[in-house]
Chain A
Amino acid sequence: MKLVLFLSELLTVASAFVVALHPNVLYASIFLLFTFLGVAVMFVFAGADFIAGAQVVVYVGGVTILILFAIMLTQWLYQMRLRDVGNKLVVPIAVIGLGLVPFLYKGLHQLADFVSKAPPPNLAAFSGSPKTTAIGEALLSSYLLPFEGITILLLGALVGAVWLARPK
């Protein structure tokens, strides 16, 4: 079981590398799809079953398709070529960014050790319990205001996107 989680973490990070650094933006969006799938598997192992399903439905089935459509509609469609020009600064930025990672790691290790010293009482039962009912109850009681706010946000985004992309 833990091996599956470890492999999915490797998949996620490797795909994220490709997303950040590959010159061809179409390949980057496909590896973004794999990153989303890897993150969904990580969610399942952290006990977030409903969120993993939501991740796949919204991100893989929605955002990825959206990005692929946008790429195909804006990249020299009738010449069918997709060479991204790329940036000269990729290598310095990548080196600086990845060079900061060991410092991040040190801080994160201390934080994780600190949090792991006082685990919550029902940690073992948390992963297996179904969360859908709990999330539903939370959404309609404590988090009702953000829930309604998000519905208005989605409505605004829908209307705005349709208006922005309207034909002339």
Chain B
Amino acid sequence: MNSAAFAHTLQSWFGVGPLWAWAALSAFLVIFLLALPFGGIATYVERKVAADIQDRVGPNRVGPYGILQFLADGVKMLAKEDFMPAGADRFLFNLAPVLVVVGACSAFAALPLGKYLVGADLNIGIFYILAVTTLIAPGILLGSWASQNKWSLLGGLRGAAQIVSYEIPVALSILPAVLISGTLQIGLIVEQQGWAWSAEGLQQYHFWNGFHNPFTFIAMFLLFIGGLAETNRIPFDLPEAESELVSGFNTEFSGMRFGLYALAEFCDVFVMSAVVTALYLGGWHIPFVNIEGLGVTLPQGLVVLIQFGVFLVKTLILVFVVMWLRWTLPRLRVDQLMGLCWKGLTPLALLNLLGTALWMWIFKGQSLAQLIYGAFA
């Protein structure tokens, strides 16, 4: 089958060079042009969003509207003294931020940024993303231990327990989308969410997975909530709570190490939002429009750009919602947090999975939209 991989696309455009070189270049582009700039700009956007919600101005000194604030923050972090607490474990103290960043940024390789822009359209795409983001938990745990600080250790233990517990509703909420598409391959899951008109009317693809049946609608929200908990965002951010644990597990990390933790957190937020977008909100599909089925044949570069733009817009809307929630909702206590996961989200996610399976069996895999269209057509 035609590979949708970024490297193959680049190779077909330029025609020269071995495939592994294009793969390395596409990895470089995705990480350094998407993940890292997003991590930096997200810190600025978060502060502006916070300022808006709290009815104040926010950073506005560095550059027009304060837009270069993230560069100033970066320079500040790089220039800070790199110290380590007295009894801290050198190796673990250095290793922990690395694990967290590797876990968060490796997931970018499998995100479906566009039809021909998947870094690596793996057969086990969504499973790979789930697997690689579990590397964050040992990173947090080791960082909190290596700090030689009781409060850091408590924050780290809570953080790791939270991440491991909420992986279950997240995995169970990913499954309805996999059930509908019959494959773990993210490129195919997104492709099947298109709404394609042809001369005979609606083609066989169903609309976005989130609106496929009522159970996937709920699963979409469960995945979003689970993603909030996985990335330690409010209302689940007790591990790094500012007012409770003196910044929790990253108390003793300063300068660029703390910068790595913050970068990994924002990258993880992007990955989780991208997963929700790709699985339930149609990925790079424009609603009701099939770009490649229009009368004119657009150049492939334009198509790629439009699809990437659509994906980015949807993901950034979800990231904005994540930031909005941070300044709106209070923080959950740790027993409420765990109770919500084990007694609330996990049974609900199981029921969603069962409901989706029943729907697929009864209605032979057709979505609500297809049923309604079939009833009126």
Contact = CB atoms under 8 A, between A and B. Distances in A.
A94 interface: no
Nearest to A29: B138
Contacts of A77: 153
A64 B138 contact: yes
Interface residues of B, number: 31
Given A30-B92, A80-B87, A69 B157 contact: yes
A56 B124 contact: no
A64 B95 CA distance: 15
Interface in B142-157: 142, 145, 148, 150, 153, 157
Given A61-B164, A65-B160, A72-B145, A53 B127 contact: yes
Given A30-B92, A72-B145, A80-B148, A60 B157 contact: no
Contacts of B185: 130
Contacts of A156: none
Interface stretch (B129-137, B201-209, B253-261, B331-339): B129-137
A130 B124 CA distance: 8
A77 B132 CA distance: 29
B224 to A, nearest CB: 20
Interface string B43-86: 00000000000000000000000000000000000000000000
A33 B135 CA distance: 9
B237 interface: no
A30 B142 CA distance: 9
B91 A27 contact: yes
B132 A68 contact: no
Secondary structure dominating the interface of B: helix
A146 B132 CA distance: 28
Nearest to B164: A65
Given A61-B164, A132-B184, A68 B138 contact: yes
Given A61-B131, A61-B134, A50 B124 contact: yes
A56 B95 CA distance: 19
Given A56-B131, A57-B130, A57-B131, A65 B137 contact: yes
Contact of A72 (B20, B148, B157): B157
Contacts of A69: 141, 157, 160-161
Nearest to B128: A53
Given A49-B123, A130-B123, A60 B87 contact: no
Contacts of B130: 53, 57
B122 interface: yes
A68 B142 contact: yes
A132 B92 CA distance: 36
The CB with the most chain B CB atoms within 10 A, among A50, A62, A65, A130, is that of: A65
Contact of B124 (A30, A60, A65, A132): A132
B167 interface: yes
A28 interface: no
A49 B124 contact: yes
A56 B91 CA distance: 23
Given A49-B122, A69-B157, A61 B127 contact: no
Interface in A53-75: 53, 56-57, 60-62, 64-65, 68-69, 72
Nearest to B132: A56
A107 B60 CA distance: 72
B164 A62 contact: yes
Interface in B187-202: none
A5 interface: no
Nearest to A131: B123
Interface string B88-107: 00011001000000000000
Given A26-B145, A69-B160, A132-B124, A57 B134 contact: yes
Interface of B: 20, 87, 91-92, 95, 122-124, 127-128, 130-132, 134-135, 137-138, 141-142, 145, 148, 150, 153, 157, 160-161, 164, 167, 183-185
Interface of A: 1, 26-27, 30, 33, 49-50, 52-53, 56-57, 60-62, 64-65, 68-69, 72, 77-78, 80, 130-132
13 contacts: A30-B138, A33-B138, A57-B127, A57-B134, A61-B131, A64-B138, A65-B164, A68-B138, A68-B142, A68-B145, A69-B161, A78-B150, A132-B184
Given A57-B130, A132-B183, 19 more contacts: A30-B95, A50-B124, A50-B127, A52-B124, A53-B127, A56-B134, A56-B135, A60-B131, A60-B134, A60-B135, A61-B164, A68-B138, A72-B153, A80-B150, A80-B153, A130-B123, A131-B123, A132-B124, A132-B184
